[in-house]
Structure 1
Amino acid sequence: MPTQPGPRHNARGQARREEIVRAAIEVIAERGYRGASLSAVAEKVGLTQQGLLHYFPSKEDLLIGVLLLRERWDTGGRDIVSEPMSMAATVGVVDANAHREAIVRTFSALLGESVTEDYPAADYFRRRYRRVREAIAATLRTEWGDRLPTGLTPEEAAPLVVAIMDGLQFQWLHEPENLDMPAAFRAFVHLLDPDFAVPDPAAPESESGA
């Protein structure tokens, strides 16, 4: 009768999976999803392509692994709809992303490709945008109630917040020396509410999410 893998085995497997995902982030940042190959990712972690397939049965599975890791870094693993982040914490996510160029570049490359035909993660991005809009609306309602100082409802303002966050990332990737992404997002928050006490920039955060 086959035995179930023990905790140490599972922990090693999870650590190996995360190592592979981190390597994929680097490769996708350089080449985009369509230009990235499983063999290039496998080479970075000292595996054969067949060995990599033991952890991720397909390139699509690896892509989802990359996206889920980015999501975990941003949210800390919490359900941001039922447990909304504060606006200060949302500002902190932008601060942290300014120190995580590789994952931001990878995410932006994947997002750009997601509108192309037959893209394997198109459904993920559609679901993500619906969920992020819902989560941001919950954050705005927690901070300001049913109306922001501008008169917008949280549901009306949420797509604008998401658009600013993603749009700033694209601009910052093109000209990081000419765009202070955290400062630009703080300026936008002040447009929502000039009296909101925007927190000071967060300390740099590593791409391990630590």
Structure 2
Amino acid sequence: MIAMTTQREEILVAALEVYAERGYRGTSLDTVAERVGLTRQGLLHHFPSKRKLLIALLQFREDRSREHLAADHADEDWPSQLAEAVAFDHQNPVLAEVHSVLLAESITGSDPDQQYLHDHQQLLHDRTVALFIERYGPRLPNGLTAQTAATAVLALVEGMQIQWLLEPEQTDYPTIMRDVMSVLLGSAAERPPTESPTSE
């Protein structure tokens, strides 16, 4: 159960429940407000639009996932960590739906809030590049640059999410993620040595 410490978090948890029950299209701000015991105006005080609420839910989702991984998986190999993240994400499938809807709107529409997803994707890419460089240097053991590997990993995660939304009955996506990432990155036991081999 998610601990709630503020009314804003209460709204987010209520919104998660309603989206899970009714889906993206079947949920209105009025329904969320009623679930949490607020008027529509009371809800709008915290989230001025449905889109603002959806973006906050995506951030909420990311924070919960990050907390889950930090709890007891910090020393695991990265393929297993990403598999854990995929499995944890599937516990709240409505958030994947919300993410995909917002992503599609950010490509086809003109709302100023769409910049959020563009900025967010760039931030994820930059963070992933930095992690790869910290662990492997500018190139991974497979020869890919950190930038190329980061782009491939994020594309894999995004594409797998869409595939899962289309085929939710398939349950082996965490395993697929771990296997593919093991090939791409290798396990924690396969970290490169601290000293580079002597060049000829």
Do the structures match in fold with TM over 0.5?
A: yes
Class of the TM-score when normalised by the shorter of the 2 chains: 0.7 to 0.9
Change (3 A) 1:67 1:112: same
Q: What is the TM-score of this pair, normalised by structure 1?
A: 0.71
Q: Which whole-Å CA distance do the structure 1 matches of 2:115 and 2:105 have between them?
A: 12
Does residue 116 of structure 1 match 2:88?
Answer: no
- Partner deviation per Cα, 1:159-209 (whole Å, 9 max, x = no partner): 11011111111111221222511111112212214x4259xxxxxxxxxxx
Q: Which residue of 1 aligns with 2:96?
A: 104
In 1, Cα distance between the equivalents of 2:131 and 2:82?
A: 9
Q: How many residues of Structure 1 are paired with residues of Structure 2 in the alignment?
A: 179
The 5 Å alignment of 1:24-173 reads 24-27=15-18, 30-32=22-24, 36-76=27-67, 87=78, 88-173=80-165
**2:24·2:97 contact (CA, 8 Å) conserved in 1?**
no
Q: Helix, strand or coil: the match of 1:143?
A: helix
Amino acid at match of 1:100: N
C-alpha separation in 2, matches of 1:162 and 1:114: 17
Aligned-partner SS, 2:108 = coil
Counterpart position of 2:196: none
Contact 2:129/2:147 (CA < 8 Å) preserved in 1? yes
Contact 2:103 2:117 in 1 (8 A): yes
CA deviation map 1:105-124 (0-9, x unaligned): 32223223322212353111
**Aligned-partner residue type, residue 71 of structure 1:** E
- State the Cα RMSD in Å: 3.0
- Aligned partner of 1:20 in structure 2 is 11
Note the residue ranges of structure 1 that are not aligned, 5 or more in a row. 1-11, 78-84, 199-210
Cα pair distance change 1:26/1:118, threshold 3 Å = farther
Q: CA deviation at 1:138?
A: 1.9
Is the CA contact (8 Å cut-off) linking 2:83 and 2:175 kept in structure 1?
Answer: no
Identity among equivalent pairs (%): 38
CA distance in 1, matches of 2:130, 2:109: 32
**Superposition TM-score, scaled by structure 2 size:** 0.74
Deviation larger for 160-169 or 183-192: 183-192
176-185 vs 164-173, which moves further: 176-185
In terms of fraction of residues, the more helix-rich structure is 2
With over 3 angstroms needed to count, the CA separation of the structure-2 counterparts of 1:133 and 1:19, relative to structure 1, is same
